[in-house]
Amino acid sequence: MGAMQWTHHHATINGIRMHFVEQGEGLPVVLCHGFPHLWFSWHRQITALAEAGYRVIAPDMRGMGQSEAPAAVEAYDIDSITGDLLGLLDHLQLERAVFAGLDFGAFAIYDLALREPDRVIAVIGLENPAAPHNPDEPPLSEYRRQARDHFLHIEYFREPPRADQELAAQPREFLHKVFHTLSGACNFFEMFRHPPGTSYIDAMEEPPPLPWPWLSELELEFFVSEYSRTGFTGGLNWYRSFDIKWRQRKPFEGVCSKVPAYFIGSEHDVDLEGFHGDDPIGQMRAIFPDLQRVEMIPGAGHMVQLEASAEVNALLLAYLEDIGRREAQRLTGS
């Protein structure tokens, strides 16, 4: 079973060539990754969910992996990303699906649920409870102001081509370091000790050699191989389009979605700790008042699908059982 059952697909969807992996039959579940991730970030979830009776679909999000990476920053706006997910459903002849996402993948599924709720059975957010949406200041301006006194990765990414060139020149070192930095074994905010202008690679501490309890050398090599081939510009454009997305979210300030929502966080997640304010779950509940369950995994960081795979799988299966029950009730009118 396992990887032997994965089916890889390439299709033109929403005007770009997209790659996605599929396994299983049943209630459809779309798993959306962030940066610097790939569909492979979910590889320990795909088979576990498929064997439990779900049709699992894990795309490479636009700009990353084997999906096409348009050059223009404007191609990473909400309309394009939402169009990818709707196009994926249409390509698979699915009216609705459950969407789970982490990092940029979480923002993508929340935007989808606000704009096209009839296509979303439920959302499951991991780590990121809401997209950045300070209504008073565009995100890139806010982060630029925060970066006046210390290194901040978002400011480092903002202006090409420095980050594109430096990361592409050392993909293995960057990925080895950043996966450790984002994990529960490291304090991400130690990087703030470095001055503005520091490179991301230099700002991160030296990681221990592989294997780690949650990542093997072969698993890291999969990410290294893909990003060595593609470079990182597609993923960086998700950051560079922050202000475009901010403007597109303006009409949805204060709007609530009726889509049922679920959340998985972790004790040492950098985004929950430093990038979502004092009440991150409150932010999510304000958008999704039908927030059914919130669970926090002790010890893990932002790489939670890999750091705590068994715990994540158990929670996803529990959430999906509840979602399936609610969906069956909706279909039967009971």
Residues annotated as catalytic are 103, 302
Helices 162-169 + 171-182 axis angle, to 10: 100
The kind and range of the H/E element at 70 are none
Q: Tell me how far apart the alpha carbons of residues 102 and 108 are, in angstroms, rounded to a whole number.
A: 9
User: What is d(CA 330, CA 334) in angstroms, rounded to the nearest whole number?
Assistant: 7
Asked if 286 contacts 255 with a C-beta cutoff of 8 angstroms, the reply is no
| Packed helices 242-249 and 104-115: angle between N→C axes, nearest 10 degrees | 30
Which residue stretches of the chain are H helix? 43-51, 78-91, 104-115, 139-146, 153-158, 162-169, 171-182, 200-203, 217-230, 233-240, 242-249, 270-274, 280-287, 304-307, 309-332
CA pair distance 286, 180, nearest whole angstrom? 32
Q: Is the peptide bond between 36 and the residue preceding it cis, with omega within 30 degrees of 0?
A: yes
Per-residue exposure over 111-130, b if at least 16 CB sit within 10 Å of its own CB, e if not: bbbbbeeebbbbbbbbbbbb
Name the residue with tokens 């191609």.
75
Q: Computed over its alpha carbons, how large is the radius of gyration of the chain?
A: 19
Please say whether the beta carbons of 228 and 320 come within 8 A.
no
Residue 159: what residue type?
E
